[in-house]
Structure 1
Amino acid sequence: MFRIILGGVLTLGAAMSAAAQDHSAHAEHQAHGAHIEHADHGEHEGHAAHHKDHHTDKLVLAETGEAVENPFHPVRLLLSSEESMGEVTIYEFILPPKSPGSPPHTHSREDEYFYVLQGTLDILSDGSVKRISEGDFAALKRGNAHMFWNGSDTETQLLMMTTGASFEQFLESVSPRLAEAKPASPEAAGAVIGQLAAEHGIEISMEMMPAAAAPHYAPPPAE
């Protein structure tokens, strides 16, 4: 917030006439009244804005909350961007053993945060693969390519948080867009998701897929 202080100081000469001094005093009285009125008006506007921005607390009990339709892995919405006044979205992600999480991608509109509740999480960060465990936290910032998956033999449960509302809108749109497009192959489905991601400022870069993650992203063998 920028604070702008408007004001001026006028110095009247000792030789100023009494009439001029009276006029100055009258103008000062009017300006003082206007300042009080402006301050009262500003206080009223601030109170109205506070009332407008007020939002209630939210408690989400274990195994409750809104399930998000998602083709990748189970997702539970804990706090929407609307409920946080557009500042953050919080999810619970469940990744089965040996399963993909996301392809390599770069955000331009949001930062992404992970906190591992159970199991382990493999991530691509700063060009190298890292494994984080229960109680570990990762802040994956916009402008940096990253990805995540579960390369372990046990289920992974984590909190995933993004700033702003754009990623939430993307995630909510994936399943409806795929249903509308009816892609005939995994490659076609990837193209649909890639286009949707680009609309939300997310660039997918499959060429950055690390060898350790690649087997979890391969299409299932033909029956």
Structure 2
Amino acid sequence: MPDPAVSVVGPGDGETILLGTTRMRVLEDGSNTGHRLGLAESVLAPHTPGPPQHRHARHDEGFYIISGSVRFTVGDKDHDATAGTFVMVPPGAPHTFANVTDQQAVMLSILTPDLYMQYFRDLAEMLADDQAPSPQASLQVMSRYATEPATDFSQRAD
């Protein structure tokens, strides 16, 4: 039996996805892991708002902060995560994140399984014409990836 292929993504490699003021670099989209795992590096510009608070039904999502600070809102509680912090969000947990600081933040996002990686591509396509998608369009795309807004928690301004 031949050895399985090893995936190596160098510093300038990987697919880039632009999501407003966030630049995401896909390190593993699931194609090398049998779709068990997705991994992306995200660079959040200063004062980058996050997505509406939401829940995933079918995947875990982890975030490791490499530099800067990212505010995670889980339900009605804020957690300011600095470099070296890991945040693990299980299915069903309401969450969002934002960079509320004057400095850039960099984090790794780990998805298991990789279900949500295609969502980021779909969202980038929706944002490509420099217009925010309608709430209805956003909900439709989220629902394709077993995700729904956490409407029981109101959006808060930072």
TM superposition score normalised by structure 2: 0.87
- 1:141 is aligned, of 71, 74, 90, to 90
Maintained 8 Å contact 1:115/1:158: yes
C-alpha distance 170-55 of structure 1, shift in aligned 2 (>3 A): farther
Distance (whole Å) between structure 2 residues aligned to residue 110 and residue 201 of structure 1 = 8
TM superposition score normalised by structure 1: 0.63
Distance (whole Å) between structure 1 residues aligned to residue 120 and residue 12 of structure 2 = 20
Count residues with an aligned counterpart. Answer: 158
Q: Which runs of 5+ in 2 are unaligned?
A: none
Structure number with the bigger relative contact order (C-alpha 8 A, sep ≥ 6) is: 2
In structure 2, give the amino acid aligned to 1:120.
Answer: S
What is the CA distance between 1:210 and its match in structure 2? Answer: 4.8
- 2:66 aligned partner: 117
- 2:125 is aligned, of 176, 185, 198, to 176
Q: Which moved more, 1:122-131 or 1:200-209?
A: 200-209
- 1:161 aligned partner: 110
- 1:84 is aligned, of 22, 33, 56, to 33
Distance (whole Å) between structure 2 residues aligned to residue 199 and residue 80 of structure 1 = 17
Maintained 8 Å contact 1:103/1:206: no
What is the CA distance between 1:206 and its match in structure 2? Answer: 5.3
Maintained 8 Å contact 1:97/1:156: yes
In structure 2, give the amino acid aligned to 1:81.
Answer: G
- 1:132 is aligned, of 81, 91, 94, to 81
Maintained 8 Å contact 1:72/1:101: no
What is the CA distance between 1:209 and its match in structure 2? Answer: 4.1
What is the CA distance between 1:176 and its match in structure 2? Answer: 3.0
Bigger helix share:
1
Maintained 8 Å contact 2:19/2:127: no
What is the CA distance between 1:207 and its match in structure 2? Answer: 5.9
Distance (whole Å) between structure 1 residues aligned to residue 18 and residue 84 of structure 2 = 27
Q: Which moved more, 1:75-84 or 1:122-131?
A: 122-131
Distance (whole Å) between structure 2 residues aligned to residue 205 and residue 146 of structure 1 = 8
What is the CA distance between 1:208 and its match in structure 2? Answer: 2.1
Q: Which runs of 5+ in 1 are unaligned?
A: 1-46, 216-223
Distance (whole Å) between structure 2 residues aligned to residue 107 and residue 149 of structure 1 = 18
Quick check: which has more Rg, 1 or 2?
1
- Asked whether 1:150 is paired with 2:99, we answer yes
- 1:190 aligned partner: 135
